[in-house]
Structure 1
Amino acid sequence: MKTTNRTEGISVIICSYNGEKKIKATLSAILEQKIPSFLSWEVIFIDNNSSDNTLSNVKNYSSLFESKKIPLSFYSEPKKGKFHALNRGISHANYQYFIVVDDDNWLYPNYVAKAFELIHNKPYIGAIGSYSEPVFEHTPEKLPKWFKNNQGCYAIGSQGKDGDVTERKHLWGAGMVSQTELYEKMYAEHPSLLFDNGIEDIYIAEDTEYCLRLILKGYQLYYSSDLKLKHYVPQERLSYDYWEKLNSNIRNSYKIIDYYNALWKLKNPKYKSKIRRLRLKLASKYRYLVTSDPTKKQRHGIILELLSSSRERSRLLQRLNRFMSDRTLQNPYTTS
């Protein structure tokens, strides 16, 4: 973590694992950014333990960045997972705000400037999401039937209506804009549960966990259709096998994410009264007993654990309770 205060500006953090074939277009889009003269910015590239020529390809672009006077730095992160790569990028960021860019994201030319405009001087906003336009490797004559209704799982399309989308509870990591020191604060004393949970490391949903931590501490999630990027979709990601694997990984993340969701549910004002909490407890117990769906059973079980008067708590819930009781993380610009 940086020990000095960051200055006004924005850091573009690109994370990549074996992105050799994709990174050229991503960097080209960065080079085309239209940046106002008052705005300071930089590009930080993190190679997440790639086994191909990703990093050397990025280094080959150094002269182009230098010619446009765009600061470019690159680092390697040996730990597997985008969470670790992003943390490495954050630790080297020099500016107040940051944009997360995946190696298959091509930012529209006004992206960086618009991102700064949207978040600057709005400390109540925790993170901002963008519109993601798909670019397919091969224009398919007919997309798979399941794709249209599930493209959100691919971080494609809209993320709601412009403005406050806090009730959505998450934003895609691709193109996300946030406050650099706020991100550090959310994890400094409370490490990610996805990577240290006593169950297994889960290499997905780091963006969802961050957003849930933000809203549990009173920060808004925001969406702007003015922020646009193109999201490259290689042909192999349209296979049913890939879709099944993606779904399996998402379901696996529920082991952790459902704890955050349950805490968010109980923050709803309608559950403040003892009577309503008792009703919820009884309903959850009944549903826990009758459902055969393991995901639903888990969710009802978490609600029961949260509402239990027992002092016994799972390790996960103990850690989340410490996170929730940490008043230094509360958004000072809200009353919730």
Structure 2
Amino acid sequence: MNKGITIIICTFNGVDRLSDTIGHIARQSVPGEIAWEVILADNASTDESSEFSEQEWHKYNLPEVSFKTINEPKPGKLYALQHAIKEARYEYLIICDDDNWLAPDYVKTVYPLLETMPKVAAIGGQGIPVTAGAALPEWFQNYHSAYAVGPQANKTGILKSRKLLWGAGLSTRKSLYLEMYKTYPSFLPEYKEKNILSAEDTEYCIRLVLKGYDLYYDAALVYQHFIPDFKLTTSFRDEKLMKGFEDAYVILRKYYAAMRATLKTEGRPDIWLALLLIAPINYLFSFSKKRAEKARDTLFYLLPFRKGPDSITTRIKAFIKE
């Protein structure tokens, strides 16, 4: 892979957001020895996001930095992101949502981290909430992580084995991303009753952790997350944001069971035995369908069976073993 950084922006009808996002990227202070480019993945927009973005970028007169727009007609950030990653020229990636404003030192801070820590598969920073002028509601501090703002850990360093990073400002490696989906494409599209494709960041981080890679948080990586007023209402919070997490859990809980059964028991036969004894009891006597399914899936991951209770669970275990 070519050494350098590709910044990826995925957008759907982002004309009202992209000017500031592109401006902050254009104002990156990047040393001359670091090659970099920007790819905007237009995800079936109807507001001329691509044309607008190109016009905005040209205002900054950076001929040495490629700015490329691609069109992904299939709705869903997952598809736009994967299309852009395949198009990326460089090994290191920064995923910048169309409402994220990267600090001027973001590229030059993350580059040496990826260069010097080969076992670190993904790096996250902290988001600072920015509004159009409205004060953050009192309840916001209890939901800040749902909005991808605030610190992602107590201090800079490798995250604990079952803690994950969010997608805003996430930095990773192209080769690793392609490897994680080479044999087993994302399972998120298989839950057709709901649109959970925005959980692609969680699925990716879980796959990395299940394969033994480290996730890293650096408090020096800072971005601002612009939050419009309508997203600061309880109706958006509950009916859109939290409902999306709830829907995604249908698939993600199968991954979480795999993490519990593999990571928690690694090198700990006592914990493995305890889970093996507890899981059947939880399955048989649970009054919650979700809890019973979690116990059932955990038991499958603990034992040497090749075929699980459903297709996704079976393939998650095969993914871990490959």
Q: CA deviation at 1:173?
A: 0.6
Taking a change above 3 Å as real, the CA distance of residues 22 and 49 of structure 1, as seen in their structure-2 partners, is: same
Deviation per CA, 1:61-96, whole angstroms, max 9, x where unpaired? 242354453210001111111111111111111111
Partner of 2:319: 323
Q: Which amino acid aligns with 2:213?
A: Y
Closer, same or farther: CA 137–57 of 1 in aligned 2, 3 Å: same
Which of 128, 143, 150 is the aligned partner of 2:143?
150
Give 1:229's aligned residue: 223
Residue of structure 2 in register with 1:214 after alignment:
208
1:178-197 alignment to 2 at 5 Å? 178-196=172-190
Structure 2 partner of 1:331: none
CA contact 1:288–1:300 (8 Å) conserved in 2: yes
For the 8 Å contact 2:156–2:218, the answer to whether it is kept is yes
| Partners of 2:306 and 2:57 in 1: CA distance | 57
Q: Distance in 1 between matches of 2:32 and 2:271?
A: 55
Question: How far does the alpha carbon of each residue in 1:237-257 deviate from its partner, in whole angstroms, 9 at most, with x for none?
Answer: 111111112112111111221
For the residues of structure 2 that align with 1:85 and 1:173, how far apart are their CA atoms?
A: 14
CA contact (8 A) 1:169 1:215 kept: no
Check conservation: 1:197, 1:316, Cα contact below 8 A: no
- Say whether the 8 Å CA contact 2:262–2:302 is kept in structure 1: no
1:197 Cα deviation from its structure 2 partner: 5.7
Per the alignment, residue 89 of structure 2 pairs with: 94
Shift of 1:305: 3.5
Residue by residue over 1:221-275, the C-alpha shift from the partner in whole angstroms, topping out at 9 and shown as x without a partner, is 0000110000001111111111112112111111221122212212246466777
Which aligned pairs between 1:1-336 and structure 2 lie closer than 5 A?
6-67=1-62, 69-140=64-135, 143-145=137-139, 147-160=140-153, 161-196=155-190, 202-244=196-238, 245-268=240-263, 270=265, 276-307=271-302, 312-313=307-308, 314-326=310-322
Compared with structure 1, are the counterparts of its residues 248 and 72 closer, same or farther at alpha carbon in structure 2 (3 Å cutoff)?
same
1:157 is aligned with what amino acid?
G
> Residue deviations 1:196-239, cap 9 Å, x none?
36876522211011111111111100000110000001111111
Distance in 2 of aligned mates of 1:312 and 1:217? 20
TM-score, structure 1 normalization? 0.88
| CA pair 272-218 structure 1, distance change in 2 beyond 3 A | closer
| Structure 2: stretches of 5+ with no match in the other structure | none
Q: Is the 8 A contact 1:170 1:207 kept in 2?
A: no
User: In the aligned structure 2, how far is the partner of 1:102 from the partner of 1:38?
Assistant: 26
Percent identity over paired residues = 33
CA shift in 2, pair 1:79/1:286, >3 Å: same
Measured at CA, do residues 310 and 115 of structure 1 come closer, stay the same or move farther in structure 2, by a change above 3 Å?
closer
How far 1:152 moved relative to its partner? Answer: 0.3
Q: Is the 8 A contact 1:29 1:106 kept in 2?
A: yes
The amino acid across from 1:60 in the alignment is Q
Please give the TM-score of this superposition, normalised by the length of structure 2.
0.91
SS at match of 1:115: helix
- Contact 1:17/1:50, CA 8 A, preserved across alignment: yes
After TM superposition, the structure 1 stretch with the greater mean CA deviation from structure 2, 128-137 or 236-245, is 236-245
In 1, the alpha carbon distance for the partners of 2:150 and 2:264 equals 31
Letter of the 1:305 partner, please give it: F
Over the residues paired in the alignment, what is the CA RMSD in angstroms?
2.2
Provide, for residues 118-159 of structure 1, a one-character-per-residue CA deviation record: whole Å limited to 9, x for no partner: 11132100100011000012332x6142x2111101101000
Instruction: Give the 3-state SS of the residue equivalent to 1:188 in structure 2.
Output: coil
Alpha carbons of 1:266 and 1:234: their partners in 2 closer, same or farther (altered >3 Å)? Answer: same
User: Which one-letter code corresponds to 1:193 in the other structure?
Assistant: F
